[in-house]
Amino acid sequence: MNNLNEIIHDFVAEGFQRGWKHIDASQIAADQTLEADVVIAGSGAGGGNAAEILAQAGLNVIIVEEGPLQTSRDFHMKEDEAYSKLYQESASRYTKDRGIKIFQGRMVGGGTGINWTTSFRTPASTLNFWTKEMGVKGFSEDEMRPWFEWVEKRYNIRSWIVAPNANNNALEKGCAKQGISWGKIRRNVMGCLNLGYCGTGCPVNAKQSTLVTTIPGALKGGATLISKARAETFELKNDKIEVMTCRSMTPLGNAPAKHSINIKARHYVLAAGGIGSPAILMRSENKILNPYGLVGKRTFLHPVNVSGAIMPYPVNGEYGAPQTSYSNHYIETRLDNKKSGFSLECPPLQPMLVATNLEGHGKVHAEIMRQRPFLQVLIALQRDGFHPESIGGSVYLKTDGTPGLDYKVSGYVWKGIRDAFLVMAEIQFAAGAKAVSPVHRDATLYYSLNKVKKAIETLPMEILKARLFSAHVMGGCSMGEDTTKSVVNSKGRHHEVENLSVFDGSVFPTSIAANPMESIFATTAKFATELAKNLVS
């Protein structure tokens, strides 16, 4: 028991008690003006990561985060609490036409605070595509290797040797029977208790999110954290940013409050994610920030479709590390882009997540929920952005200035989604499923492979019928050397505005074709190290 107490010792909360600098903007009584060497909008995989590197180089850093500061003691493994506090729009953000539900973190730690710890290096095929097709420099496999190695050390990204839970085990078993390659996922954890609650905030500080690693690192280096403040606009003079304006949020965090916080800095870093970062540039309404109208364009999502199966044994997918096994078979065999490739993974299966993302209501829904302990679920993530038809979405501003995403699923990706429904059903039946149900408005439970096959052939692949999800927003401020085809250069520096950088997943010119956290870590570690050098010298 002593060990357990040590593990759950909330050293982040204690750090703040000892004097790490933090302003909860929902509690301030007056407008504020602050100054720093570097101000970073966002504290997730990009912002938190960059903050430590910049602060430890001796720069005075301010991190601005829209979400709340919550630490392990606040994480109670309760879905109702977590989704409303730690996710964008209470975990009910949708694309403009409601076709895709987007899960994004909104807390100190960003997505790393609530993601499922899945860590992949950027696939070589993606890096090569950027180099050959998208005009990106410095991102060859060899050039990136040291950065992957560095972040793997910093975030303790390692093989996970604990046996998979039954949900992931079914993926392994089914793939093996189908002759499909599969693998074990590496995870950024230290002292993980295999609880299964990564998605509600790690209660034991095992997950090496930026909340427990690089943000504390930055704060120890003298950085200031501002939580519950939304970065709104940049004001420019002579093509240089003079100030970043922020707005305090209400204590509940769902609406802006009345105080403004203006931050003047030598350099400004956007790290608010694939929807948030473009939004700040768009709200600023300055042509120089977006001379070719590329900001917020080519936003990718890895659109996800879902297949549920009833197994003859209890799965209890709510417990155990949620995502430990995967298959990239349909990525690797489709790299020629003739057909849309996809990877296969598992989600956690806590009741609220299951109940809200199933189709239907009443008797049918209740019956599946009654059998929830036997439920096995596979998800397929489409590799969007590599085919001329797969152009991604665009960020737009709503009437109140908050951002949304308009994403139309291309016919090309829809075909991949139909293929994925079939592949998932085949794997599930091979793993012993009694029945399979594609999560689709017009589907039901099918008790044989033949029946589900037939159904999948004719199910309409249309939004609001096939239920789609995303937990990975990428692109929108894409990088490249051609100043007319990209927003930032291959070092994350804005092409036109000298004191502005973008350090997050929005710089990716395509989707990653793997869970993007480690790609964001490595890319922004590289960017921030270079920026620190420039600013210090």
Contact letters for another protein, residues 269-288 (x by CB under 8 A): --------------------
163 sits near another protein (criterion: CB under 8 A): no
β-strand pairing of 21-24 with 93-94: unpaired
The encoded tokens of residue 229 equal 């403040």
Lookup result for tokens 């964001």: 520
The set of residues, in sequence order, having a beta carbon less than 8 Å from that of 460 and lying 6+ positions away, is 442, 466
251 sits near another protein (criterion: CB under 8 A): no
247 sits near another protein (criterion: CB under 8 A): no
Nearest-angstrom CA–CA distance, 422 and 413: 14
Range in contact with another protein (rule: CB under 8 A) among 127-135, 409-417, 463-471, 488-496: 463-471
CB of 291 to another protein, least distance (A): 30
Range in contact with another protein (rule: CB under 8 A) among 154-162, 233-241, 298-306, 369-377: 369-377
Q: Which of 69, 100, 218, 354 binds another protein (CB under 8 A)?
A: 354
190 sits near another protein (criterion: CB under 8 A): no
CB 495 within 8 Å of CB 324? no
β-strand pairing of 186-188 with 118-119: antiparallel
H or E stretch at 224: strand 224-227
Q: How many CB atoms sit inside 10 A of residue 162's CB?
A: 12
Q: Which of 168, 350, 376, 437 binds another protein (CB under 8 A)?
A: 350
152 sits near another protein (criterion: CB under 8 A): no
- With residues binned 3-state (H G I as helix, E B as strand, rest as coil), the percentages for the chain, rounded to 5, are 35, 25, 40
Q: How far apart are the first and last CA of the chain?
A: 50
335 sits near another protein (criterion: CB under 8 A): no
Which one, 240 or 465, has the nearer CB to another protein?
465
Which one, 5 or 537, has the nearer CB to another protein?
5
124 sits near another protein (criterion: CB under 8 A): no
195 sits near another protein (criterion: CB under 8 A): yes
80 sits near another protein (criterion: CB under 8 A): yes
> Which DSSP string do the residues of 331-395 spell out, in sequence order?
HHTTTTSSS--EEEE-----HHHHHHHSS--HHHHHHHHHTGGGEEEEEEEE-TTSSTT---BEE
373 sits near another protein (criterion: CB under 8 A): yes
Beta strands in 42-188 (DSSP E): 61-64, 93-94, 100-102, 118-119, 157-158, 183-184, 186-188
CB of 341 to another protein, least distance (A): 27
Nearest-angstrom CA–CA distance, 45 and 113: 9
Q: Which of 197, 342, 429, 508 binds another protein (CB under 8 A)?
A: 197
CA distances from 253 to 64, 107, 237, 248 (A): 14, 10, 32, 9
Q: Which of 237, 258, 338, 370 binds another protein (CB under 8 A)?
A: 370
The encoded tokens of residue 275 equal 């929807």
CB of 400 to another protein, least distance (A): 6
Which one, 364 or 422, has the nearer CB to another protein?
364
351 sits near another protein (criterion: CB under 8 A): yes
β-strand pairing of 21-24 with 32-41: unpaired
Which one, 77 or 422, has the nearer CB to another protein?
77
Range in contact with another protein (rule: CB under 8 A) among 92-100, 176-184, 284-292, 409-417: 92-100
468 sits near another protein (criterion: CB under 8 A): no
CB of 340 to another protein, least distance (A): 22
CB of 363 to another protein, least distance (A): 5
Interacting positions 39-78 with another protein (CB under 8 A): 76-78
CB of 457 to another protein, least distance (A): 20
464 sits near another protein (criterion: CB under 8 A): yes
Range in contact with another protein (rule: CB under 8 A) among 89-97, 133-141, 158-166, 382-390: 89-97
β-strand pairing of 256-270 with 240-249: antiparallel
367 sits near another protein (criterion: CB under 8 A): yes
Q: Which of 66, 152, 318, 426 binds another protein (CB under 8 A)?
A: 318
Nearest-angstrom CA–CA distance, 410 and 262: 41
Report the b/e string of 361-379 with b at 16+ CB within 10 A: eeeeeeebeeebebbbbbb
255 sits near another protein (criterion: CB under 8 A): yes
What φ, ψ does residue 381 adopt, rounded to 5°?
Answer: -110, 115
The SS3 of residue 62 is strand
Q: How many CB atoms sit inside 10 A of residue 250's CB?
A: 12
Q: Which of 124, 162, 163, 252 binds another protein (CB under 8 A)?
A: 252
Which residue in 300, 267, 286, 295 sits closest to 486, CA to CA?
295
Which one, 181 or 356, has the nearer CB to another protein?
356
355 sits near another protein (criterion: CB under 8 A): yes
Q: Given the rule CB under 8 A, which residues bind another protein?
A: 1, 4, 8, 76-80, 83-84, 89-90, 92, 97-98, 195, 197, 203-204, 252-255, 318-319, 350-352, 354-356, 358, 360-363, 365-367, 369-370, 372-373, 398-400, 402, 441, 462-465
